[in-house]
Structure 1
């Protein structure tokens, strides 16, 4: 079974318990039908874990085992909770409570506060930094912005690991955590911060968990009330729980065992916040009778991406690595991951922007036709984004920064939602809607009153960003209208209200720029992992073996975000003309061409840079056929020689091949490079293949191109007349061949691959 990667967010609802199980694979079905006792699901990236647990809850509801109101499903982000809530609603289990740990605890705290303490609950402070800055000032410390952020992070870590201000220095030593500044000073700021909150009667997010834990511990009557309400629990991303969250979960459960946890130790990337995979890894020790199910069928990524991900973890060490899952792709083969080295960071960003433009180019124009919303550029630190923002702007590619201003906080979205609410209340009396066709047409008509137009504005920048934001609301209406033809404007407004509450934004049509941490839980058709140098990934302050392994897992998360296209790149210097003193990330050793393995698999892994012929990848380092030096550049690997070594190319044959390519491209209505790139033609003119086997051995000549163009190329190499047209196997005019463009995907820096006029 392969799930559609772009399925509508509004699928039809099943009508029976058995219908809920339709389309699940055997392991997902095992999760869905095991409704009693503790269940531990080890779920690899892209294996459909959310599908499995939402269908489990829905199956329990439809079969009468669960009452919706008695089920509490918790996860770690508002977006994930909103997505789970939407899926459950479509599966006919809309009454199930789906929340983050903090949201569930806050709801209970606010409800029981008058009974447990009396009076109104304290006000929640959403941003700590102003209070931390004031606390530091009272301690006679002047902290810069980044220092304030570091101290705030230390306070958060201490609270979720239940460490008091006076115990903070000792806890640092015990945990092996490297403090960003003097522990005694941080302890002093921490204590003053806590006193400031008490003086002003406010609490922070960590207090929500601490106070709820305290309330449930001290008040047995309140704990029993909560346990009568919630009898069945599902915890997603269980590898990310902190000691405080685990304690809260234990109090919710009491002496019962109706608990299903889902996680993957190989995706533990938040230990700096107090998260630990230990509770996942020791679940069966604490629950010896637990049912264990492993999900390893990857429905997200191609075999090429999955192979690289598996190879990355094969070199890992530590406790999490002992429990790694070997993924098995369920998708058809795709292009090999691209490894690209650049002289400096601007050159890297420009190459990425150029490649993204090629991916966005419609298929009928020789491109891949990938939507901008299905492309992501991921980096280790947010400070890296500026170079890519500039490069994409220069290339005229729309983009959005993930982790910046929240979607529903944008002025144009607030204005649009207000307008939609007003139109929904007016209903049939609203003249704006009178001539609109369908739900999407009505939404477009309402948004037109705020200045939106169906046609995008010219260029990029803020005006285009605003247009893309509003266009995402129209697309949401289109999806809802297709799923529910009778849907009206009020239904869309209700959907928006739920999404606003959950901060579950619709898709915006723009390339996503995000940190690797912010990309967790997301996926795209094409992913560019950039800045992969030692010192950035692993980052410099990762000192201990455990910290370095977490950096490896962070790269693994990045790799597994890609469905089809994956590019990994690095720059040897920061700026043009700078010293080229950087080296590629050590995590790529044994995976990128020409590198020795740092452990686990050797260089004969799944990826060879610059190879385009599927199933015929060279194994291990590729030597120059002239001098024997190991080749690393994509163009050199394709030609099988160093750029400096003498060429044996037949110049006359090369020109004949170029003329032939131009004729075939016109005939097939494709750009010339979609037939063969210049580099592939150079390789043919140098090796002079005399048989199909020899021609197939040239990088860039895939099986389809061999069938389609092989007879012509061999005839040209032999100096013979071209065979009759019916001897070839051309694709229909205007239809790209299955491996068209493979050379472009494999060779990123070949400047001669521009279309001929």
Structure 2
């Protein structure tokens, strides 16, 4: 194959990357600029040009998904034997191969669950830790290992860094030391030691290093802004005194500093290699000019060293809609407004799988899970269990149910919120959030239950009891559905890295959440800004940014929008969409008893769920059978076609034309166009059948 054909379709900057066949090369690639395309074409072009053999290339990235995508692209470009692996996979392969000749004896067992060993070490130090404390301690030990901090120096290092620790630093150091001793005694190897041991092997054994460097002489490292000191140590061992390496990254997307990642290796690459070729990819092919402009403005206000390396993106797509800023009275109103917007997007043709709701903490997902379930919108939770499936929530609900049964269901509870707080206290519901990432996430999940108690009190007033509260919990758990196919994505901003959607909702953008309350110094605040930047750049076309002025309906409206929105959102309230608990839904009355309807399903039916129905049972059966056939044909869950409540509303009203059908909540323009004719035909058949039956009678 003509090597030049590999370069077809590349833009000028991507072409410069691909033609830079010899290292060192530093590619600073902004979001959506085609960095994977550029580096895979560079590898394929080098192979096709005879610069390097496929087997001599090692492309390293951070996730198995990214490595798999790179292998797929290289296979399509005619380089199927190029090794594309994660750091850990590459290190394990090499260590396993050289272990017999370098060390001898039985190979160590790779630790799959480090928390088990850390727990044993903690107990040997006289510490009995809960599951959440143990996870935080394990993460802290991982941080120490990737930053090459030894147990003996741990206290000194964290004091100099002013780092918050999940346990007193002395206790962390003791457990850390005991854990390392346990691994030595039991011949265990965790992922951090795997990298360190492989690097040490290459540095201590010139013969082995020579073998590896003969095998791999052409290196590509993706997401270089996320490299930690331990990974950098291994990369340097692979390279030796050579410089044939191409690194790719974007310092504006550094969001994992808490794990030891640092953008300094990317930003300092030209200083280490003064003769390096540096290419900037700034043509954004992912997002509309409106989204790109907002992303640029978000980082432009970042000053000082934290703003170093910011790339100004240049949009390549056609113009699209302006980003929407949505201010709401309270969190339920915000979630309902988001669900309404999502329904409108789906009705206008945007697939559910191309929509995402992104939040700062996993605990925020509960409100959106409920709002989407109420609206009949399918969803999937990425990177975390659904709210009611999380271990801490399952334990909390079990405890709350027990407390509800113990209390008198007849007596009024004048202070339900305090009671719930007291019940959850032994599970971790403290007045102030604890230190430690896992412990804080657990606390935030429990705080969401306290917030639910506040909403129950707001709705029921003094009559709210523990029985009322547990009944609400049961009702909410019952509405959670597990979609058979992907729906709207609910995800934290961290887990959204590397993904993209047509429409993105960035929610909960208030001070204390974005930036998070425990981000205090300038570098931490800067990282929070970059995290929001990652969220913004996930959107291809539609972007919504929302916040709530209070947590619960009727609560004090003392929250303020995130400082990161200053200068981005419209200066006047006229430019910001408002959604409040007072104006969220228009008042809908039951057509039978006249009561105000609240639940989404009841509002679709225009009657209370327990009021007598007056629908055509035969028509409803026909509609359900038709829906089943359509769902099977389209390979989607039945409720994606129409929910049960919508079908029942159709059966009750039996519309005779498209205008009447389109007025039924849950139909919408897209579904009307897609399914309207079939539904109206069934309604007409039902009317004919009723007419014929009346004539015979």
Q: How far has the Cα of 1:571 moved from its partner?
A: 1.5
Which among 352, 377, 402 is matched to residue 397 of structure 1? 377
| In 2, Cα distance between equivalents of 1:138 and 1:318 | 46
The answer to whether the aligner puts 1:263 opposite 2:206 as a matched pair is: no
Which among 531, 546, 570 is matched to residue 554 of structure 1?
A: 531
Structure 2 match to 1:540? 517
Please say if residues 353 and 489 of structure 2, whose CA atoms lie closer than 8 Å, have aligned partners that are also in contact: yes
**Distance in 2 (alpha carbons) for counterparts of 1:146 and 1:239:** 29
| Cross-structure match for 1:582 | 559
Between the aligned partners of 1:378 and 1:518, the Cα distance in structure 2 is 9
Matches for 1:345-494 after TM superposition, within 5 Å:
345-361=331-347, 367=348, 369-404=349-384, 465=483, 467-468=484-485
Provide closer, same or farther for how the CA distance between residues 63 and 513 of structure 1 changes in structure 2, counting only shifts above 3 A.
same
Q: Say which structure is richer in helix.
A: 2
Match of 1:322 in 2: 308
Please tell me whether the aligned partners of residues 344 and 576 of structure 1 are also in contact (alpha carbons under 8 angstroms): yes
For 2:58 and 2:479, how far apart are their aligned partners in 1? 43
Shift of 1:356: 1.1
Partner of 2:113 in structure 1? Answer: 127
- Tell me, yes or no, if structure 1 residue 180 matches structure 2 residue 157: no
Q: Give 1:536 shift.
A: 1.1
**Aligned equivalent of 2:234:** 248
Q: Name 1:24's counterpart in structure 2.
A: 10
Q: Any conservation in 2 of the 1:668–1:734 contact (CA below 8 Å)?
A: no
* TM-score of the pair, normalised by structure 1: 0.63
**Which stretches of structure 1, 4 residues or longer, exceed 3 Å deviation after superposition?**
460-464, 630-633, 666-672
* TM-superposed deviation, 1:541: 1.2
Instruction: Pick from 288, 294, 299 the counterpart of residue 302 of structure 1.
Output: 288
Could you say which residue in structure 2 is the equivalent of 1:36? 22
**Distance change (3 Å), C-alpha of 1:318 and 1:121:** farther
The corresponding residue for 2:693 is none
Report the equivalent of 2:507.
Answer: 530
User: What is the match of residue 54 of structure 2?
Assistant: 68
SS at match of 2:494: coil
Please state how far the C-alpha of 1:635 moved relative to its aligned partner.
6.1
The C-alpha deviation readout for 1:454-513, integer Å capped at 9, x for no partner, is: xxxxxx988853x32xxxxxxxxxxxxxxxxxxxxxxxxxxxxxxxxxxxxxxxx31111
User: In 1, Cα distance between the equivalents of 2:662 and 2:34?
Assistant: 38
- Deviation, structure 1 residue 357: 1.5
Between the aligned partners of 1:230 and 1:302, the Cα distance in structure 2 is 40
Q: Does 1:510 align with 2:487?
A: yes
The answer on 1:209 being equivalent to 2:189 is no
1:154 Cα deviation after fit: 1.1
Distance in 2 separating the partners of 1:275 and 1:342 = 36
Task: Please tell me whether the aligned partners of residues 377 and 511 of structure 1 are also in contact (alpha carbons under 8 angstroms).
Answer: yes
| Counterpart check, 1:568 vs 2:545 | yes
Q: 2:382 & 2:269 partners in 1: Cα distance?
A: 34
Partner SS, residue 308 of structure 1: helix
Structure 1 residue 316: Cα displacement: 0.8
Q: Which residue of 1 aligns with 2:207?
A: 221
Matches within 5 A, 1:146-185: 146-185=132-171
Cross-structure match for 1:95: 81
Q: CA deviation at 1:263?
A: 0.7
Q: Against the structure 1 CA distance between its residues 559 and 257, is the aligned structure 2 distance closer, same or farther, given a 3 Å change threshold?
A: same
Give the distance between the partners of 1:204 and 1:577, measured in 2 at CA.
51
Conservation of the 8 A alpha-carbon contact between 2:369 and 2:480: no
- In structure 2, do the counterparts of structure 1 residues 296 and 670 end up closer, same or farther at CA, with 3 Å as the change threshold? farther
1:633/1:308 CA distance change after superposition, 3 Å:
closer
Partner of 2:221: 235
Check whether the contact 1:242–1:274 (CA below 8 A) recurs between aligned residues: yes
* Residues 240-271 of structure 1 deviation map (CA, whole Å, 9 limit, x = unaligned): 11111111111101111111011111111111
C-alpha distance in structure 1 between counterparts of 2:264 and 2:197, whole Å: 24
Match of 1:338 in 2: 324
Does the 8 Å contact 1:85/1:94 carry over to 2? Answer: yes
Q: Secondary structure at the match of 2:528?
A: helix
**Retained in 2: the 8 A contact 1:161–1:274?**
yes
User: Which residue of structure 2 aligns with residue 725 of structure 1?
Assistant: none
Contact 2:355 2:488 in 1 (8 A): yes
Instruction: Tell me the TM-score normalised to structure 2 length.
Output: 0.69
Shift of 1:578: 2.5
**Across the two proteins, how many residue pairs are aligned to each other?**
499
Query: Helix, strand or coil for the counterpart of 2:515?
Result: coil
* Structure 2: unaligned runs, 5 residues or longer: 387-477, 580-656, 664-671, 675-697
Cα shift readout 1:40-90 (whole Å, capped 9, x = no counterpart) = 111000000000000100111111112100000001111111111111111
What SS class does the counterpart of residue 579 from structure 1 fall into? coil
CA distance in 2, matches of 1:216, 1:557: 36
In the alignment, is the contact (CA less than 8 A) between 1:669 and 1:734 conserved in 2? no
Q: Where does 1:676-687 land on structure 2 (aligned, <5 Å)?
A: none
SS of the aligned residue for 2:32 comes to coil
Runs of 5+ consecutive residues of structure 1 not aligned to the other structure: 1-14, 362-366, 407-459, 469-508, 595-621, 623-629, 637-665, 673-732, 736-757
Residue-by-residue CA offset, 1:729-750 (whole Å, 9 max, x unaligned)? xxxx989xxxxxxxxxxxxxxx
In 2 relative to 1, CA 461–207 (structure 1 residues): closer, same or farther, beyond 3 Å? farther
Whole-angstrom CA distance in 1 between matches of 2:113 and 2:330: 37
The separation in 2 between residues aligned to 1:147 and 1:635, in whole angstroms, is: 41
Q: Distance in 2 between matches of 1:190 and 1:24?
A: 49
> 2:82 aligned with 1:139, yes or no?
no
Tell me, yes or no, if structure 1 residue 53 matches structure 2 residue 30. no
Matched, 1:192 2:178: yes
Secondary structure of the 1:518 match is helix
Whether the 8 Å contact between 2:325 and 2:576 is mirrored in structure 1 is no
CA deviation vs aligned residue, 1:320-362 (integer Å, no higher than 9, x gap): 413211000000111111111122222211221221111112x
Q: Which residue of 2 aligns with 1:634?
A: 577
Q: Distance in 2 between the 1:98 and 1:217 partners?
A: 23
Q: Contact 1:242–1:275 at 8 Å: present in 2 too?
A: yes
Distance 1:221 1:117 in 2: 14
* Aligned equivalents of 1:16, 1:398: Cα separation in 2: 48
Give 1:632 deviation, angstroms: 6.1
C-alpha separation between the residues in 1 aligned to 2:531 and 2:9? 31
Moved more, 205-214 or 324-333: 205-214
| Contact 2:324/2:576 (8 A) holds in 1 | no
Distance 1:16 1:390, change over 3 A: farther
SS, match of residue 495 in structure 2:
coil
